[in-house]
Amino acid sequence: MKTFKRILAIIALIFLIFGIKFCYEIAYSPYNTAISHSDRMTVFYRPGCSRCHKVLPKLLLPAYFSLKRDYFINANELTDKQLNKIGLTITPGFYSHGKLHETVNFDKIISLWEER
Q: Are 99 and 52 in contact (CB under 8 A)?
A: no
State whether the Cα torsion 82-110-69-47 is positive or negative.
positive
Q: Are 78 and 86 in contact (CB under 8 A)?
A: no
pLDDT per residue as tens, the chain (116 positions): 788 888 888 988 888 888 887 777 666 768 878 888 777 889 999 999 999 999 988 887 888 787 788 888 999 999 999 999 889 999 999 998 889 999 999 899 888 888 87
- pTM higher than 0.85 for the full model? no
- For residue 100, what is the enclosing H or E element? strand 99-101
Q: Residue 99 in 3-state DSSP?
A: strand
Q: Which CATH superfamily is domain 2-115 in?
A: Glutaredoxin (3.40.30.10)
At residue 90, the 3 state secondary structure works out as coil
Task: Give Cα 6 to chain centroid, integer Å.
Answer: 31
